[in-house]
Amino acid sequence: MDGQFRAKSAGVSRRAGTALLGALLGGVLLSGCQSAIEQTYEPSVSPSSNPQIVEEVQKDDPRAQVGAREHPRIVASYGGEYQDAKTERLVARIAGALTVVSENPSQSYRITILNSPAINAFALPGGYLYVTRGLLALADDASEVAAVLSHEMGHVTANHGIERQQREEAEVIASRVVSEVLSSDLAGKQALARGKLRLAAFSRNQELQADVIGVRMLGEAGYDPYAAARFLDSMAAYSRFSSVDPDSDQSLDFLSSHPSAPQRVDLARRHARAFGVEGEVGDRGRDYYLAGIDGLLYGDSPQEGYVRGQTFLHGKLGIRFDVPAGFQIDNKAQAVLATGPGEVAVRFDGVADTQKRSLTDYIASGWVTGLQPDTIHAITINGLEAATARASAERWDFDVTVIRIDTQIYRFLTAVPKGSPSLEPTADVLRASFRRMTPQEAAALKPLRIRVVTAKPGDTLATLSARMMGTDRKLDLFRLINAMQVTSTVKPGDKVKIISE
């Protein structure tokens, strides 16, 4: 966080509180996969160990100027680049095999691994490709990552980024929602900071075309052509797992605004059949893939703070707080958000304290819309200077709590439907639990990582998943990251992924 408070994305939305926070949970949607052309292909190229990747896209390509302009925004929005030589070599190897069979051999690609736990991949004009470490953690083998990258390369090949008109609905909605609570100046800045391009919002025909190109590249590069269908299944399963309510609105999910998952899976399998029978054709590349992601950072990074159950902890800032039971915490790009029963929503962030004014004056300085001045009170929270107030806007009541630590002001904004009795109890939990971490607590915090382990005699899904950390649904998440079904088993010598420190 480099001295300035910043948090990074998770990926869970909930119906509760959506009137206030729903628009803030937006992000870049993963492009859908469909195809409409049947052809017969014969794979002729094996995965490359000497990938044809260039450091920069063509400087003379006018399309590359679009990618170059937006690249810094994308990297910043997704927590920067994830830098790990082993993982970078892995992704370069996969992309290199696809580049060899590209429909446009003169097109070069710049591939960036984004330091985000979100599951996403997308492309910018000029050959800028992006894949998140969250997607790499979910994928079970190299062919599944190849399926994602080949689809995105298809968009580049077909110039879809140039043809597409950028969608700004998410930013407009976010501005409107924030302006209900915050004054226009700050609202504008925050809405701008949240504004991510909806890069994958391609038209249906564009998705069809990219899928045709992607499946052909996947098969011709020697990878398992059925990997696209398998990974679509995995993404759909993860989406259901991540949703608090599996039947709730998934409009902000990466599978939204695209063809339904069953249809996409069916089409992907239909095109894969042009290469041969499932299970008998193509390389999955699982062993070298698992070796390449062993140790991959999983979930929140140290710079972003950690979510552990009902607690948010940030070792570098030295702070922690709890949310009430039943709340779901999302560690987002500009704030920590939490949603709970009864449409209760919480936002936590921090700002630099440059003027050193009193906290009561700070609350009254104009950044809160609907502030009730007579409710402003100075308080102390676990030995820290603080202040609270109430506000009201549209159909919401708010508790505003600010706390000073050194040169930083931390802010809680709790929102409930007008008249809800949940406002004070929720705000009380946040205030009572907010405190400095001890040096020992901060030192003990360690990030979670993907660890590849080998099953031993006597190991079962239950014994292996029991070693998982960072989730109370250990067996479910273990099956997801290993692409296992309820009926799956393990035998001695099998390599599997677990999540641990």
The helix (run of H) or strand (run of E) holding residue 235 is: helix 227-242
**Residue 302, helix vs strand vs coil:** coil
Residue found by looking up tokens 């302006």 in the block = 179
Average pLDDT of the chain, as a whole number:
76
- Lowest-confidence range among 66-80, 390-404, 455-469? 66-80
How many beta carbons lie within 10 A of that of residue 208, not counting itself? Answer: 19
> Structural domains in the chain?
59-297 (no CATH), 330-428 (3.40.1000.10), 449-500 (3.10.350)
Angle at 144 between CA 143 and CA 149, to 5 degrees: 90
Task: Report the candidate in 446, 458, 447, 453 with the shortest Cα–Cα distance to residue 481.
Answer: 453
Task: Please state, for a pLDDT cut of 90, what percent of the chain lies above it.
Answer: 39
For residue 219, what pLDDT band results from cuts at 50, 70 and 90? confident
The 3-state secondary structure of 100-129 reads HCCCCCCCCCEEEEECCCCCCEEEECCCEE
Name the token pair of 435.
Answer: 């405190």
Residue found by looking up tokens 């069809």 in the block = 208
Would the pLDDT of 481 be above 70? yes
For residue 318, the 8-state DSSP code is T
Would the pLDDT of 200 be above 60? no
| Highest-scoring range by mean pLDDT, 41-55, 80-94, 103-117, 166-180 | 80-94
For residue 29, what pLDDT band results from cuts at 50, 70 and 90? very low
Per-residue pLDDT at 59 = 55
Per-residue pLDDT at 384 = 96
More confident residue, 427 or 299: 427
d(CA 351, CA 5): 7
The 3-state secondary structure of 252-276 reads CCCCCCCCCHHHHHHHHHHHHHHHC
d(CA 484, CA 501): 22
Q: What average pLDDT does the segment 89-103 reach?
A: 87
Q: What is the largest CA-CA distance in the chain?
A: 76
Q: Please enumerate in sequence order all residues whose Cβ is within 8 A of that of 125, keeping only pairs 6 or more positions apart, or say none.
A: 63, 64, 66, 67, 156, 159, 161, 162
Against a cut of 0.75, is the pTM above it? Answer: no
Q: What average pLDDT does the segment 31-40 reach?
A: 27
Would the pLDDT of 263 be above 50? yes
